[in-house]
Amino acid sequence: MSLPFAPRRTLFRLAATVAIAAVAACAADDGAAGGANGLVNPDTAALATPAPDSFKVAFETSKGNFVVQAHRDWAPRGVDRFYHLVQLGYFDETRFFRVISGFMAQFGLHGTPRVNAAWEPLRIADDPVKQTNRRGMVTFATSGPNTRTTQLFINYGNNANLDAMGFAPIGEVVEGMAVVDSLYADYGEGDGAPDGRGPYQARIAAEGNAYLARDFPRLDFIRRARIAP
């Protein structure tokens, strides 16, 4: 499968279905998360239940903590997916694998290949864009219309140009934006971009944290993310 090039201002969620499926079929070391039934065998009926109208998610990271407040009236489909991912512990031990200074910090590819394989087909329909992609806003990444699954990004600056491209914010960082600003960004772009040395998303999907720990050891990561009281 040919993989699209991810330019600096385009947020691609690479669908490396063939590579992921191959790894899922033969991976011997699935890691702790791979044994969690809700992650490797997502309950689609449960995923269809609505999230609360508003809730906060506390992120504990390798650089410190920050809090995201989600608003269902901004983007109900996206907020529902975000809520269920957090409830399942999906983001625990995942890397901020694409951090571009002045632009955004992207996360949401799992460290276990079988989990990536399980969620790749579970795409959600787009939400209308009701909020602008200003600094601190949290938004799903996409590879085109109706392709959101698990990847999100946090805007570092005014990225209002993304609004017309269909990127609908689901919430915003309400505490700890300085922590988000401090995430390791020196690898730059990935996927073979000429202005960066970052990882390939298809390889993250297929090889998980083993690939990132070996080749990109300085990436910051989420220790855990939980619904805040």
Partners of residue 139 on adjacent β-strands: 153, 169
Residue 30: per-residue pLDDT: 39
**Domain presence at residue 59:** yes
- Weakest mean pLDDT among 87-91, 133-137, 195-199: 195-199
**Domain presence at residue 9:** no
CATH of the domain at 108: 2.40.100.10
Beta-carbon count within 10 A of 206 CB:
21
**Domain presence at residue 2:** no
**Domain presence at residue 98:** yes
**Domain presence at residue 10:** no
**Domain presence at residue 4:** no
What is the count of structural domains for the chain? 1
Residue 69: per-residue pLDDT: 98
What is the pTM assigned to this prediction? Answer: 0.86
Q: Is 105 helix (H, G, I), strand (E, B) or coil?
A: strand
**Domain presence at residue 143:** yes
Residue 194: per-residue pLDDT: 80
74-88 pLDDT per residue, tens: 999 999 999 999 999
- Chain Cα centroid distance, residue 220: 14
Beta-carbon count within 10 A of 210 CB:
14
Q: Which domain holds residue 143?
A: 17-44+55-227
Check whether 132 has a pLDDT greater than 50: yes
Task: Output the average pLDDT for the chain.
Answer: 88
More reliable by pLDDT, 100 or 1: 100
Residue 25: per-residue pLDDT: 37
Mean pLDDT on 178-200: 92
How far is Cα 200 from Cα 190, in angstroms, rounded to an integer?
6
